[in-house]
Structure 1
Amino acid sequence: MEKGEGGNQMPVTEFILLGFGNQPGLQILLFLLFLVIYVVTLAGNLLVVALVVADLHLHTPMYFFLGNLSCLETCYTSTILPRVLASLLTGDRTISVEGCITQLAVFGFLVTTECYLLGLPLVVMSYDRYLAICKPLHYGALMNGRLCLQLAAGSWISGFLACTILVCLMSELIFCGPNEMDHFFCDLIPMVKLSCSNTSQITPVIYTFSFLNLLLPFLSTLTSYVCVISTILRIPSTTGRQKAFSICSSHLIVVTIFYGTIMIVYMVPKSSTLRALNKVFSVCYTVLTPLANPLIYRLRNREVKEALRNAVRRSVTLTKNLD
């Protein structure tokens, strides 16, 4: 049946998320794997948030944004993985249409915000090094908390506005079958494909938003890398250059995984091969990136390690005093 001709059909009230297949042995293995990933992701990101809040030495612009990212990814992962774990454990793969749109709304808001926030630590590092090297006397006045709050608030507000527009368009769609979604969560494009409404208006909006919220932040991040490299090369200390390059290279790995896979999913025309790998790419930016971020370039930073050691020492001292 062509889209737009489904007016006489009964609307569906729930979707079936096909997930990763129906083999019992595979379901148990995937449940254990995703459970470990979820626990490690939550522990790593919440640890970063706690350290950034508690340690005064981490009250700097770059760590402010890293703390924002960790907070975002804690919520981001919790939007996807608990539902996946419940499905793998119970075998119940149904979700109501309203629940699906709600998950899409929260996920869309968080993933769009991450597209903007992910590049900000690098932008700030570049700006930080530029001011410290070229305008040291202006550093305190220009690199301040107000600017950081404005950049972070702009990212969260941009994500909310972009998501609100798309969800309003999605809520107008009618779903009248089939109701099987070949995905492990309620994603935008698979939902649009299941609609029997006329989707000719929403498709251009999806591509426009993908360009504005994916490609432009990605290009901005690449531009920041050029600035970072140029400022790093002007650092007189060899140790300082090595430290900056270490942070930069780690960040590049995460950025490549996140932006690369998400742009393939939303912006690249689908061949049969890409369509088959769609869920694999989705796992990369929804599951692996939040896991890798704190492990690759947050908890490895010297300042974070030192803050963690101080926290452990304080904890041990407090325990001894209580005993």
Structure 2
Amino acid sequence: MFSFQVLNFTINQYHESEMENQTIVYMLVLNGLSDRPSLPLFLVFLLIYLMTVTGNLLILLLIFTDSHLHTPMYFFLGTLACLDMSYSSVTVPRMLFDLLTGLRIISVPACITQFYFFLFFAVSEASVLAVMSYDRYIAICRPLHNIQMMRWKVCVQLVSSMLGFCAVHALVHTLLLTKLTFCKSNTLQSFFCDLPQLLQVSCSDTLVNVVLIFIFAILFGGVILGVTFYPYITIIRTVLKIPSKQMRSKAFSTCFSHLTVVFIFYSTSFFNYLRSKVSDQHTEDKVASVFYSIFIPFLNPLIYSLRNQELKTSLRKALQRK
């Protein structure tokens, strides 16, 4: 009851001005996972977040300390672990705060800032998954050229240029968002600030935003999807030609973890963004958003560690040294 009184009081304090008989708002309300404070949900997601950070930090520590893991594959896996921690940290702390207090209010500048980092880390994660597909293709289909083509310098330059492009990509969308005004229903049907919900509550003309989203989705998204999935056509053909059953199993094992992560990431993202939006689908949207923004960073270290014999061996050695 107290949280609703605080919410009503805060909403009454919004800075407002009149423009074309509409009220421009400078504060937004996140619909959240619960309409009121929920300690059980807070504890569940706090535990998931702590396990996400711990699992990814453990992978980074193993890769950094074990010289046997100083290969391109684990360099990209370490990059993915960093992105998973950052990706999760953009949305979960704010969601935990809202679950504990029930306020669910965020300023427009803070909302747009959250969106920038969320988009940057999400697109960066998709890009790293694509690069990991290419690395698997080189390692399995062109093993004699692996050392030459995937040198450390090449790996670092590849990741650096990719992160730079993702930062510019997120910045372009963010700068266009800063030009919009918000004066419709100021409730975002999500627990974090995402682009579709922000465009939905804007009273400005969003045609440029929508066209830019479409262009980037076709060009940049098409390249990422192609680099992610096309190599596996050649990989599967190559692996099936390997005479040794044990070698085939080992080759498929190195790809299975990556394919599992890719499938979960893209299936939940496509479900949330590409299907039609109707009023009774908000609950399904939230479930999909929880999967790709919270559970994927949590599941990634589990998937890679459980299916990766080298990581498990490195962990056992680290524990034995202690």
TM-score, L = length of structure 2: 0.88
> Where does residue 28 of structure 2 map in the other structure?
15
Root mean square deviation of aligned Cα: 2.0
- Could you tell me the percent identity over the aligned residues? 41
**Where do residues 1-323 of structure 1 align in structure 2 (5 Å cutoff)?**
6-22=19-35, 24=37, 27-132=38-143, 136=144, 138-271=145-278, 274=281, 276-314=283-321, 316=322
**Amino acid in structure 2 at the alignment position of 1:168:** L
Question: Residues 88-112 of structure 1, C-alpha deviation per residue, up to 9 Å, x if partnerless?
Answer: 0111211111100000011011111
Aligned length: 305
CA contact (8 A) 1:51 1:304 kept: yes
Gaps of 5+ in 2: 1-17
Question: In 2, distance between residues paired with 1:117 and 1:10?
Answer: 42
Structure 1's 275 and 105: CA in aligned 2 closer, same or farther, altered over 3 A? same
Q: Give, in angstroms, the shift of residue 268 of structure 1.
A: 3.2
**Secondary structure of 1:277's partner?**
helix
Question: Residues 288-317 of structure 1, C-alpha deviation per residue, up to 9 Å, x if partnerless?
Answer: 111111101245311111111121122x2x
- Structure 1, 242-251 or 185-194: larger mean CA deviation: 242-251
Gaps of 5+ in 1: 317-323
- Structure 1, 215-224 or 299-308: larger mean CA deviation: 215-224
Question: Residues 250-271 of structure 1, C-alpha deviation per residue, up to 9 Å, x if partnerless?
Answer: 3222211111221232333335
Question: In 2, distance between residues paired with 1:212 and 1:21?
Answer: 37
Question: Residues 203-226 of structure 1, C-alpha deviation per residue, up to 9 Å, x if partnerless?
Answer: 121222233343432232221211
Question: Residues 151-198 of structure 1, C-alpha deviation per residue, up to 9 Å, x if partnerless?
Answer: 212321221111011001001001124211111000001001111111
**Secondary structure of 1:118's partner?**
helix
**Amino acid in structure 1 at the alignment position of 2:168:** L
Question: In 2, distance between residues paired with 1:288 and 1:184?
Answer: 14
CA contact (8 A) 1:210 1:267 kept: no
> Where does residue 319 of structure 1 map in the other structure?
none
**Amino acid in structure 1 at the alignment position of 2:179:** E
**Secondary structure of 1:15's partner?**
strand
TM-score, L = length of structure 1: 0.88
